[in-house]
Amino acid sequence: MAAVARRPINRLLCPARPHGTIQSPVKTAITARTLYTPLERIENPVVVCEDGWIAAVFSRDQQSLPANAELLDFPDAVLAPGLIDIHIHGGAGHDVMSADRSGFAALGAQLEAHGVTAYYPTTVTASLDETLRALERLANEIEAPQGNGAEPLGIHLEGPFISHAKRGVHPPENLLEPSVTVFERFWQAARGHVAILTIAPELPNAEAVVREAASRGICVSLGHSDSELGPAQAAIRAGARHATHTFNAMRPLDHRQPGILGAVLTDDQVSADIIADGVHVHPETLKIFFRAKGPERALLITDAISATGMGEGRFRLGGFEVEVRGETCLHQGKLAGSVLTLDRAIQNVMRFAGWELGPALRLATMNPARTVRDSSRGEVVPGAVADLIALSATGEVIATIKNGRLPSR
């Protein structure tokens, strides 16, 4: 593990706070051996951060370090954007459907330890009233971030507009046919913070909901679906542009009936995510996925549940119980999320598919940011939020930097 050196360069003291305490410097220079932006590789990089934003990126081979900045030096490390998880149900013993403020703080700290700086808490199908209450709590957390740990940026609504045939562990009694009226209730409860909607395109009225959600800027994602090719293509024309945990909870690909996977894997307008834990998808299937979607449109997610980081045992996913055995999460014999972390997913891509670290990082940084149309994250470029990670050459997290600063705890 690389050493981390923190030393001031002409340390700038800011005006005193009300009770005489001194604010931290507003300018930081972060250095390392290599930077993946992730599109560009820069040797001996310097990333200058001011007031939580990236102000400049250059190489020490071309320009000297700035004055009046605190130096964060990771001499043997690789710098990259902070990781972004757009599909996560919980962790550290807490489920996002029911977590309180302390639960979200614990989840944020765990995610930060694995290099995640932003995430999209993901619901699981529950009763209408339970879902509405969960959306209100999630909106509260998004609107009042705690200042430490990974930050929730928006809500991923997974269910109830999904297929009975491909529901996975989502409770069948709570599944609903797509309805613009019900979707509006979700939107109002979430106070406009729904960022991603997973929907089965073959269901009645699905196309109307796709159009309505897409018109509001939501990333409509096809998933938990037994769709044939036609309805999936119609949903894409209506505004769907992503696919949820590809291959899992989807009609299998058939050479005469390509189904939803035929649309997802061949349409260059559609991005798609996958769970690269070696449990949900075989490594050879992972290679097929990457060849189909390429480094531009493939994403990594965790689908992690409350059990993540907690060892084996029984844990909650929404309103039901999941048993964790090793790397496998089961409910009534079916896979029920994962205990995967996003840094390990990147390492698995390197191990399973033979990718280098730089391209693998793109799958959990730039690509998810672009999928939710967040232009302020996912890249280390001037004008972006100063969320970065320092990694070993093999992808182990050394440090997570939020808003240009190391965690205070």
Active site residues: 303
Judge contact between 226 and 205, C-beta under 8 A: no
What CA–CA distance (Å, rounded) separates 337 from 176?
A: 21
Contacts of 102 (CB under 8 A, 6+ apart): none
The H-assigned helical ranges of 6-121 are 101-113
DSSP string for residues in 108-156: HHHHHHTTEEEEEEB-----HHHHHHHHHHHHHHHHS--SSS-EE--EE
Residue in the block written with tokens 């709590």: 137
What CA–CA distance (Å, rounded) separates 198 from 385?
A: 27
Query: CA dihedral in degrees (90, 95, 97, 101; nearest 10)?
Result: -100
CA angle, 188 then 83 then 361, to 5°: 135
3-class SS of residue 228: coil
What CA–CA distances, in Å, run from 229 to 162, 201, 257, 264? 16, 10, 7, 9
Measured over all CA atoms, what is the biggest interatomic distance in the chain, rounded to whole angstroms?
73
Count of C-beta atoms within a 10 Å radius of residue 282: 12
Per the document, the length of the chain is: 409
Q: What is the Cα 209 distance to its own chain's centre?
A: 24
